């Protein structure tokens, strides 16, 4: 069943079942088009491809009129070529400032699940783990970004990377992309249901729990003393 397309604030779901890729714009270079050759759900997906194979180009396709600094970013990718990957970009301020999840499946020339950031045009590796996904199969990428800088990357609902980075805290865009050729489907964003407490908040929570425990202990002791006196 196709997913419903919904817009509520910054939240959205796009499964491309309306038969177009309106609402998405190629950034800098590359190409994107509606496709029916590979789909995760329904009849359509979005194909991203490089018009100059062999060049060091990454196609990026940006969601129009979208800005967020925290939340849940999700997309399903399908990668087939030996030298290809699927990419999810979040807090995309411009072409020189963003976070980037690079997904190179097993069976490609450089397999790995990689989290990077690009800051002031300088790219930094934040984490790299073996890829738990293969070529020629759909896999789901989910990023949880919290207000305190915590970033969690999930593949097919399994946590693979977790770290904290606060270099980019501003609201930015949401992009998907590829190196040579890949498909993306069922792209969505939603606000977080709750946030990770800060250290100060954890301290207040722990203090409140201890205080309640102390008060309960005091009341119980007083009741016991009253009972003994009678």
Identify the band that residue 225 occupies on the pLDDT scale cut at 50, 70 and 90.
low
Nearest to 22 by CA among 12, 11, 10, 8: 12
Residue 200 has pLDDT above 60, yes or no: no
Residue 197 has pLDDT above 90, yes or no: no
Burial of 89 (0-12, 13-18, 19+ CB in 10 A): buried
Q: How far is CA 71 from the centre of its chain?
A: 8
Q: What is the pLDDT of residues 83-119, one digit of tens each?
A: 889 999 999 999 999 999 999 999 998 999 999 999 9
Q: What is the pLDDT of residues 121-155, one digit of tens each?
A: 999 999 999 999 999 999 999 999 999 999 999 99
CA dist 96 and 63 (Å) reads 17
Domain boundaries along the sequence of the chain: 7-194, 197-230
Identify the band that residue 180 occupies on the pLDDT scale cut at 50, 70 and 90.
confident
Q: What is the pLDDT of residues 159-176, one digit of tens each?
A: 999 999 999 999 999 999
% the chain with pLDDT above 70:
85
Identify the band that residue 2 occupies on the pLDDT scale cut at 50, 70 and 90.
very low
Residue 62 has pLDDT above 90, yes or no: yes
Provide φ and ψ at 96, rounded to 5°.
Answer: -115, 5
- Higher-scoring residue by pLDDT: 137, 7: 137
pLDDT score recorded for residue 226 = 60
Q: To which CATH superfamily is domain 7-194 assigned?
A: Exo-inulinase; domain 1 (2.60.120.560)
Residues 6+ apart with CB under 8 A from 44: 15, 16, 17, 19, 34, 35, 36, 185
Sign of CA dihedral 178, 125, 54, 94: positive
Torsion on CA atoms 195, 200, 203, 204, rounded to nearest 10: -80
Most confident of the following: 54-63, 173-182, 194-203: 173-182
pLDDT score recorded for residue 7 = 38
Residue 184 has pLDDT above 60, yes or no: yes
Q: What is the pLDDT of residues 70-93, one digit of tens each?
A: 999 999 999 998 888 999 999 999
């Amino acid at each position: 069943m196709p997913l419903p397309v919904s817009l509520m604030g910054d939240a959205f779901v796009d499964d491309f079942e309306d038969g177009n890729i309106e609402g998405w714009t190629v950034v800098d270079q590359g190409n994107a088009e509606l496709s029916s050759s590979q789909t995760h759900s329904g009849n359509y997906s979005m194909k991203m491809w490089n018009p100059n194979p062999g060049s060091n180009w990454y196609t990026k396709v940006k969601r129009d009129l979208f800005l967020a600094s925290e939340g849940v970013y999700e997309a399903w990718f399908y990668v087939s070529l030996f030298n290809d990957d699927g990419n999810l970009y979040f807090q995309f301020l411009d072409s020189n400032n963003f976070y980037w999840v690079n997904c190179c499946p097993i069976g490609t020339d450089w397999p790995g699940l990689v989290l990077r950031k690009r800051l002031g045009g300088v790219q930094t590796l934040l984490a790299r783990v073996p890829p738990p996904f293969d070529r020629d199969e759909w896999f789901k990428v989910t990023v949880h970004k919290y207000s305190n800088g915590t970033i969690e990357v999930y593949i097919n609902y399994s946590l693979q990377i977790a770290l904290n980075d606060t270099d980019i805290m501003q609201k930015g865009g949401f992009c998907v992309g590829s190196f040579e050729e890949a498909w993306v489907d069922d792209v969505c964003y939603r606000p977080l249901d709750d946030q990770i407490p800060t250290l100060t908040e954890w301290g207040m929570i722990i203090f409140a729990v201890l205080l309640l425990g102390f008060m309960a202990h005091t009341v119980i002791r007083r009741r016991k003393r009253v009972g003994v006196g009678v």
